[in-house]
């Protein structure tokens, strides 16, 4: 019994010592983890301040009116930030006290940073006397859109937003530009509701009318003004549309058949073409010829073609004094809504 009691006591002592060692190791591990976490947060803040002043120097060198956005990270514990003169400073509280961060610049600065933790887009602007910076309640993910279209072609583009506030905000959009927004550009929504702390988007649809002349270099310029009653931020989405000399006929609204007109001999030739309006509005339809048969075809216009209706036209083609050979071209029916359809024309002149 004596030995059993002694053995039990030794086991209890060993267990106590083991628990003590484990608790010490756990405490050291927690302390080390806290230190690493604080170092990581401090590093994030320091890097953000450096990114801010570097962006400010670039904006300052670019001249009055220059703007730039930079993404920074604010850690838990930021108490105070300030920009005065040529530096930005921040006071950061942590478990062991406080730390002071400083980033010097070659540029006069004015502004302050948000104190709530998170990632923020900071807007910077050169206003002549200084580079001003502020954080955005919401921002655009892309404010410059460039694309190329054929005449008669359409394309949809998403305009994406990000909301930084803790509540839903409304964003208003309006269209302007070198081109007629009514015939060129449409938005899926004039007012866009952005959900709390998340991204959302609206769709811009661009349709180049068939009658629009090509403009390949520099393109047509349009822009979308973006504002919100919840924010002082006002953005402009620049849209550059380069229009090629090609014509894109979908045949989805104005439908013409037969799809191919094949003739041979000395002409003239005659063919009945049916044109249907598959759209939502009444249209007028004109005919144009292209390619080798340019100037050969004669057709009378169609007026007031109602929705869902079709009209038959006898169309004449004459090769005139052109020499024998194979000629290939296009007959195109064009509606006042800018939609079109076309038929291939093949003529073997003998």
pLDDT digits (tens, 9 = 90+) for 162-172: 776 666 777 78
What confidence tens digit (pLDDT) does each residue in 245-275 have? Answer: 878 887 788 899 899 999 999 889 999 999 9
Mean pLDDT, rounded, of the chain: 79
C-alpha closest to that of 60 among 131, 135, 132, 134: 131
Q: Do domains 139-247 and 254-349 have the same CATH topology?
A: yes
Tokens linked to 214: 């090509």
Closest alpha carbon to 273 in 283, 282, 286: 286
In this prediction, residues 15-28 reach a mean pLDDT of: 58
What is the third-level CATH fold of 139-247? Immunoglobulin-like (2.60.40)
Query: Does the pTM of the predicted model rise above 0.85?
Result: no
Judge whether residue 28 has pLDDT over 50: no
pLDDT of the residue at 239: 86
Query: Which region among 67-76, 270-279, 312-321 has the lowest average model confidence (pLDDT)?
Result: 67-76
According to the model, what pLDDT value does residue 78 have?
66
Task: Give residue limits of the domains in the chain.
Answer: 35-135, 139-247, 254-349
Q: Which CA distances in Å does 215 have to 4, 148, 210, 248? A: 100, 10, 13, 15
Q: How far apart are CA 218 and CA 69, in angstroms?
A: 25
Give the CA count within 13 Å in the CB-facing half-sphere of 27. 6
206 closest CA partner among 178, 166, 169: 178
Neighbouring-strand partners of residue 157? 204
CATH architecture of 254-349: Sandwich (2.60)
């Amino acid at each position: 019994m004596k030995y059993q009691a002694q053995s039990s006591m030794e086991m209890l002592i060993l267990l106590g010592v083991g628990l003590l060692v484990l608790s010490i190791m756990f405490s050291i591990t927690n302390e080390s983890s806290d230190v690493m976490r604080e170092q990581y947060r401090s590093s994030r803040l320091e890097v953000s301040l450096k990114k801010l002043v570097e962006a400010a120097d670039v904006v300052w060198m670019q001249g009055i009116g220059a703007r730039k956005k930079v993404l920074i990270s604010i850690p838990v514990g930021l108490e105070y930030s300030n920009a005065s003169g040529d530096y930005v400073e921040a006071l950061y509280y942590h478990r062991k006290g406080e730390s002071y961060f400083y980033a010097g610049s070659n540029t006069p600065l004015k502004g302050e940073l948000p104190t709530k933790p998170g990632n923020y887009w900071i807007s910077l602007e050169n206003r002549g006397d200084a580079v001003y910076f502020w954080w955005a309640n919401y921002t655009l993910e892309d404010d410059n859109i460039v694309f190329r279209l054929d005449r008669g072609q359409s394309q949809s583009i998403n305009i994406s937003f990000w909301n930084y506030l803790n509540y839903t905000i409304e964003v208003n959009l309006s269209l302007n530009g070198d081109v007629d927004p009514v015939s060129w550009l449409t938005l899926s929504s004039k007012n866009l509701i952005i959900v709390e702390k998340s991204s959302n988007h609206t769709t811009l649809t661009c349709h180049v009318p068939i009658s629009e002349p090509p403009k390949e270099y520099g393109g047509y310029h349009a822009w979308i003004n973006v504002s919100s009653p919840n924010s002082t931020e006002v953005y402009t989405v620049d849209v550059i549309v380069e229009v090629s000399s090609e014509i894109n006929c979908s045949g989805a609204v104005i439908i013409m058949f037969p799809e191919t007109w094949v003739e041979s001999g000395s002409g003239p030739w005659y063919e009945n073409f049916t044109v249907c309006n598959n759209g939502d509005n009444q249209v007028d339809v004109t005919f144009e010829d292209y390619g080798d048969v340019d100037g050969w075809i004669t057709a009378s216009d169609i007026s007031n073609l109602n929705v869902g209706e079709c009209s038959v036209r006898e169309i004449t083609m004459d090769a005139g004094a052109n020499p024998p050979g194979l000629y290939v071209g296009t007959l195109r029916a064009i509606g006042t809504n800018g939609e079109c359809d076309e038929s291939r024309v093949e003529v073997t002149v003998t």
